[in-house]
Structure 1
């Protein structure tokens, strides 16, 4: 084995499955569980504050900021877990008895004074769980349970085929904490530990899933307004006629910017809501609970209240995606109209340029005729000077006859030279026009693709 090449993450992957082990919790016990959102760069501050707790309790603080830190200090247990968005703290006091009020003391009671108030970050979940042994029937248990929940409506559950009873109200009490009362009938310490862990996770994930609901409620009215605005723009485009295209494009750009701003602020939150909701449903299924004396079970209560909220977030997220696509389609329609308008203007401009070129060509032919006459006149004048110089030098010939013969020769030569130059420029123009047509055809093919 020592000669094999191991993946560098092999050991870490094995340890990942054991990074957050279930606790073993004896009955009775008083448990407090809180979750705090992780702020940017706040992990070090939270860990330093966590170390101060150990110092205040008179034990050596942990040195490494692990994913899960658990320490038993006498009859008091401290546990800290790091998650992606939040950090959880669980405090368990095993010194309680079954005879006392289940919420007279809690898991935070042994904490040093002021430590909890100084905890960095924004607190999301705060619940007390009280575990007690009880063999009472439901009829005798319910009146006693109601006294511990300040008269609030109860939600009851009988998990694990009736081996325990779980009572809660899913509301905050006078101390700012929620409450769960667990009456253990036949569960082992390991089973109670797993049950408490699932209840704490259900409450934490439930609240984390609901964080996105205010964002969804904020976006919904604006989306309805933009939906009507977009429908009006589409109707105006379908009717055609004179439209203020720059104003419409500006309106579409403004709507697109607002939609993208909403998406930037909500996409991650809505995705996290779906993930947390799935975790809540999974933890509820693991409870395998039955109804208790006609009370709503945890699953019935949460699926009735939580699922609609999650569906609202999902619906708003889908509406944002749909609105973005619709705006893109309307923008494409507007761009097509603008391009067609530009092409029509270009055709008119080309036609006007074509008419101007024809006029210029006619003027050019006229100028060419005058140019031939002018160049021929000056050329004959130069030839006449040359002939006179030759005659004065003693060469005998008829000057007038020579000048007369040179006139048609010069005119023919000038005319031929002018035509040759003209043909050369026409050939260059045809080559340029062919190149332009080829480029335009290539662009049209690319657009079709």
Structure 2
């Protein structure tokens, strides 16, 4: 009985994501694989538009075999088409197809009858996206049969150097070369000695994930190698700029140097934006590979590298290269910021020095203007007094002409000092008033 649908947990308010979180742990169940088996695996990288196109293309395959196609896309879809079974898994960057053939002909070699050939060629050739991972897995029954000798195993891998191990305490024997063969695919050969179908399904899933995540992690390596050379040049350029800043005798163009630092900072930030996701993904895929390798619990096949030894020998250094490049970018960004701060400090000090000189010059000009102002004030007193006396002279002459008896010349002469004194006092009063206003806050 579903409590969530019938009683709503006795009236309790259920979180809307609870059911989907429960289903998440069961969204990618392990397969049950019996031996012998022939399996092909594809991991196809898709962009946003291709993801929807790919699902519609997957639905077309159902119509070819007269099956009802799924109406909605999901993380994992398993469909039995009759001659073969497909498990389709959606991931963040890619979609994977695991094809298992139902009919195995003993007359063919272990990799001559690939499950991938069961798919309609017309449908397969139009599958959207770019194939990143492609390999075949052949499972042989060694419970009732003896394990073949090394020469027979090597013949299935076109004479390539082998990597072999005995996972799960020797219950199976796994062989691979981690190389592409003449058909453009990789190969895994498994001899099952004591594993059940469920255990074998989990083992195959781990091997599939190891190979897929290994290649996805290595996607970042070409990018790291590309930018490492450019980072060395950028380091040298930054070192030269820093040396020029530390040289007290050097004549520097601060504006030009600051423009160079801005260009370097812009390049670093643009590069970090390009590589951040790829390098982070490489670290995450690497951790998944190490986790799956640990789950294998391998024992060594005499004279051969185990899968774990091979992976840790080559994959781990490659991922470390990506991590080092990412750290190098981060360090370069920090050092550019420090040099930029030094440059800005130098420019600020230069501006302060210029401001100090400008203030000193303004102070000198203010003193000159003050002296000139005092001179002008004296001239202004004389000019105003002259015109004031002239106006008073008209009044005195008008009064004299009307019959008032006085010494006209003496009166005019006496008005001169009085007018000058009055104008001077008025000017001083106005001057003091402006000074008082200037001091007020």
TM-score range, shorter chain: over 0.9
The answer for the alignment partner of 2:4 in structure 1 is: none
SS in 2 for 1:42: helix
Is 1:59 aligned to 2:48, yes or no?
no
SS in 2 for 1:115: helix
The answer for the alignment partner of 2:187 in structure 1 is: 179
Q: State how 1:18-417 maps to structure 2 within 5 Å.
A: 18-96=26-104, 100-135=108-143, 140-241=148-249, 242-393=251-402, 399-417=408-426
The answer for the alignment partner of 1:440 in structure 2 is: none
Q: Deviations over 1:367-397 (max 9, x none)?
A: 1101001001111211222333344455565
Q: Distance in 2 between matches of 1:75 and 1:191?
A: 24
Q: Which piece of structure 1 moves more, 341-350 or 273-282? A: 341-350
Q: Deviations over 1:35-79 (max 9, x none)?
A: 111212211100011111111122221111111111122351111
Q: State how 1:406-445 maps to structure 2 within 5 Å.
A: 406-430=415-439
- 8 Å CA contact 1:57, 1:112 repeated in 2: no
**Deviation of the 1:408 alpha carbon:** 2.6
- 8 Å CA contact 2:83, 2:118 repeated in 1: no
Q: Distance in 2 between matches of 1:363 and 1:274?
A: 77
SS in 2 for 1:108: helix
- 8 Å CA contact 1:34, 1:89 repeated in 2: yes
- 8 Å CA contact 1:28, 1:97 repeated in 2: no
Q: Deviations over 1:400-445 (max 9, x none)?
A: 45434433332222212222333344445556xxx8xxxxxxxxxx
Structure-2 change in CA distance of 1:427 and 1:331 (3 Å): farther
Runs (5+) with no aligned partner, structure 2 = 1-8
Q: Distance in 2 between matches of 1:328 and 1:430?
A: 45
Q: Distance in 2 between matches of 1:335 and 1:318?
A: 25
SS in 1 for 2:114: coil
User: How many residue pairs align between the two structures?
Assistant: 431
Q: Deviations over 1:264-301 (max 9, x none)?
A: 11111101100000000001111111111221011000
Runs (5+) with no aligned partner, structure 1 = 436-449
The answer for the alignment partner of 1:445 in structure 2 is: none
* TM-score relative to the length of structure 2: 0.93
